[in-house]
Amino acid sequence: MKRISLGLTWDGARWPIRTLPPKARAFLAGKSHEAKIPSAREVAEFFADDQVSEIRICWVTRLKGGEDVLSDPFQTPEGARLGFKAIKTIPFGDTLGVIYRRT
């Protein structure tokens, strides 16, 4: 199972992690210091294959718009929705870190 870590604006556009405060970047890294950031296509494939157990998002108080969003459209093999629950929130100034886990 994979953990996805992303910086996102309120409208779901990706936000560069390098521009987040140091504590927010550490939150996204968690205990693993995996530097690879998945592409939108990879994120869609992970969700479609039901490989995601945790999502860490730093929500940035901005609206960006445009085509650069969280993921490409996807559908699970069974056509089921994937359930996630917010289990922890941590404020980093204007940024809010949220951990979502599978229900």
Nearest CA to 58 among 2, 87, 15? Answer: 15
pLDDT at res. 20: 93
pTM above 0.85, yes or no: no
- Of residues 55, 58, 56, 51, the one with CA closest to residue 74: 51
**What pLDDT, on a 0 to 100 scale, did the predictor assign at position 10?**
85
Checking if the pLDDT of 58 tops 70, the result is: yes
Give the mean pLDDT of 72-97.
82
Domains and CATH numbers, the chain: 2-102 (3.40.430.10)
Q: Which two tokens stand for residue 103?
A: 């229900």
